[in-house]
Structure 1
Amino acid sequence: MRKLLGLFILVAAASCEDPKRAAVQESEFSGYWYQNQAEINVYALEQVRYGEIREGEAVMIFVTEDFSKKDQVKLDNPQDTPSDARKVLKLNKTRSFQTGVYPYHTMLSVFTPVYDELKSPKIVASVTEWCGQAFTQMNWRNSNYQIRQFSYFESEGDREFKINAASEDELWNLIRLNPELIEEGESSLIPGLVYQRFSHVPLKNENVLLSKKSINPSVTELTVDYQDLARTLRIRYQNSFPHEILSWEEEEVSQKGDTLLTKAVRKKKQMLDYWNLNSKADSAYSQSLAL
């Protein structure tokens, strides 16, 4: 009886585990991403805001870390609670640009499991400018994104709601893990959180068409065509591992019928343990990144 009970417990525990990503090649992945460094990418940005092009800068920082399954935060001491640790690829993506007299700053953070076939457990975005702040956080729990949305706009106010769909913001990390994880065809996605804050469209799942095309033998372009938003996102990346992101475009059609194009092209890339480079002497690294 005890043996049968033990076997039942083992089977039940195994059935509760998240399925594994077969597409992640451990040897090449660990050789690149487990160097105790982050990959920092700097892009020349042309951002559409208020119907005009604003020159600015975007930075995409990719790094792996141990993430709490239970609390969905970075673990300070993962060795103390190994059963709660999940390896994630984290993206921190910033944009900075000027609108007239005042600046805009945005930040997107996406935490995507490396080995578990699971939606990104946490996605966060913030937008700050002189009028105020807006902040959105999505946590994947119980087969839904639990969403909390905060804004200085009365019409958007503080809200909590749920959406059962994948997120556009996860695509960046899936490309870096393995572009084959992104299937072509019709799908449903939650639009990017920064786009949503800029456009003020209601946050909900939208019908999209995902497609890929070869730009040249070494570069592919992923296209995310929103069927009802008059918006298209295009991301160009290297075919070979580690699938670096070279550029992206966000095409929108304004209410006047004008085509508006935000685009970013990479100008610098460097692997750094930036969290240790916080002295005045380390400002030389900013110069090397053209920041």
Structure 2
Amino acid sequence: MKKWMKFEFLIIIIALGVFSLESCAQSEKKEKPEQITVNEKTNTQEKKNVSPEFKKYWYSGNAEITSYTLDQARYGEMRGGSAVLIYVTEPFLADKQVKADGTNPTNIPVLKLNSVKNYITGIYPYSLMTSSFYPVHDDAHAVKLSFSAQEWCGHIYAQLNNREKFDVVSHSYFESEADQEFSLEKTILENEIWNKIRINPSNLPVGTFEVIPSLEYIRQTHKELKEYTANLSLEAKNDSINTYTLVFPTLERSLKIDYTKAFPHTIEGWSETYKSGHGDHAKSLTTTAVKNKSIITPYWQQNKNSDLFLRDSLGL
């Protein structure tokens, strides 16, 4: 009887041990697949979206700077000027949504575009700058947009941050616009299109969508910042150039961007048609930008008087 009790007790112990091992194994099975899935997804994105060709061009420690001859519509007339597109990759802090000072596993690799325009209206000048920060992996909307305009009447600033929604702050010297803070539902941003073209133009949206127009257009025409229905299309202009077109019917506005089919998909120029001027005197005019010169250089290091000759390289 005692032997039988000992034997029964041993069986129970073994059974509990097996159950415990199975429980641990099940626990490990529950934890490991999630970790593996995340890692595999990350690796797949990196292989798919960041090719060796892309890395060699965009992670060389330089920026791509391209100048354009600008013919800008403003106040119902055409104004001569210049535009510069500065593209560069950089690490971006996800929480603060600013450029990271150091390496961090949570940094977002972005392709940044600083778009600068300068032109004269009569006696006074205009200086405009738009910045867009777009994930290199082309897997989300722009992380952040900002726009500023300076002229003798005053200056304007607008910023959009991609959080749970698109959070917007805007400041203007106009009473009707003044200081604003509001949120928008997430949808396509016109500003991010310029980054998407450089990363993966085959992933450009085509069809009818709700699109938030560029911050420059909205603030310069004093339109409401919101989504508008737009028709988006892509066609071949010739053997080497594609044209991406955005048409906003209710705004009576269209934007056409010409870019090279071959990598690195450089922006060759653009045209933007909309009504310019005040009230009944407004008329449809077309702003154009034609590529002038382009250089690849670490411009942030070239701030000495001896570096002034580089502006000649850009025709500025």
- TM-score w.r.t. structure 2 length? 0.86
1:10 deviates by: 5.4
Aligned to 2:113: 91
Structure with bigger strand share is 1
1:146 counterpart = 2:167: yes
What is the distance in 2 between the residues matched to 1:58 and 1:3? 62
Match of 1:180 in 2: 202
Tell me if the contact between 1:248 and 1:263 (Cα under 8 Å) persists in the aligned partners: yes
Deviation at 1:181, TM superposition (A): 1.4
Give the TM-score of the pair, scaled to structure 1: 0.93
Q: Indicate if the aligned counterparts of 1:23 and 1:178 stay in contact, CA closer than 8 A.
A: no
List alignment gaps of at least 5 residues for structure 1: none
Q: What letter matches 1:36 in structure 2? A: G
Structure 2: tracts of 5 or more residues without a match = 1-22
Instruction: Name the CA distance, whole Å, in 1 between partners of 2:304 and 2:158.
Output: 32
Where 2:308 maps in the other structure, the secondary structure is: helix
Match of 2:99 among 68, 74, 93: 74
Provide the residue aligned with 1:278 in structure 2: 303
Higher Cα radius of gyration: 2
CA change 1:145–1:39 in 2 (3 A) is: same
User: Which residue is 2:182 aligned to?
Assistant: 161
Match of 2:270 among 244, 248, 269: 248
- State the number of aligned residues: 287
Partner of 1:216: helix, strand, or coil? Answer: coil
Higher helix share: 2
RMSD across aligned positions (CA): 2.0
Question: Secondary structure, in 3 states, of the residue corresponding to 2:268?
Answer: strand
Do the aligned residues in 2 keep the contact of 1:21 with 1:114 (CA within 8 Å)?
no
User: What is the Cα deviation at residue 253 of structure 1?
Assistant: 3.2
Shift of 1:158: 0.7
What is the 5 A alignment of 1:1-291? 4-5=26-27, 8-9=30-31, 20=45, 24-78=49-103, 81=104, 83-115=105-137, 117-142=139-164, 144-164=165-185, 165-254=187-276, 255-256=280-281, 258-291=283-316
Cα drift, residue 116 of structure 1: 5.0
Which stretch has the larger CA shift, 179-188 or 242-251? Answer: 179-188
Which segment drifts farther, 256-265 or 121-130? 256-265
Q: Which amino acid aligns with 1:268?
A: K
Contact 1:23/1:181, CA 8 A, preserved across alignment: no
Judged with a 3 Å threshold, the aligned counterparts in structure 2 of structure 1 residues 251 and 279 are, in CA distance, closer, same or farther, namely: same
Give the fraction of aligned pairs with identical amino acids, expressed as a percent: 38
Structure 1 residues 93 and 6: CA distance shift in structure 2, 3 A: farther
CA contact (8 A) 1:212 1:221 kept: yes
Q: Tell me which amino acid in the other structure corresponds to 2:304.
A: S
Amino acid aligned to 1:46 = D
Counterpart secondary structure, 2:217: helix
CA distance in 2, matches of 1:122, 1:6: 39
**Deviation digits for residues 11-54 of structure 1 (CA, Å, limit 9, x no counterpart):** 55656988948863511100111110000000000111100001
State the 1:197 CA deviation: 1.1
Say which SS state the counterpart of residue 287 (structure 1) adopts: helix
Structure 2 CA distance for partners of 1:221 and 1:92, relative to 1, 3 Å: same
1:171 and 1:23 mapped to 2: Cα distance?
19
Conservation of the 8 A alpha-carbon contact between 2:258 and 2:270 = yes
TM-fit CA distance, 1:183: 2.0
- The residue identity in structure 1 corresponding to 2:87 is F
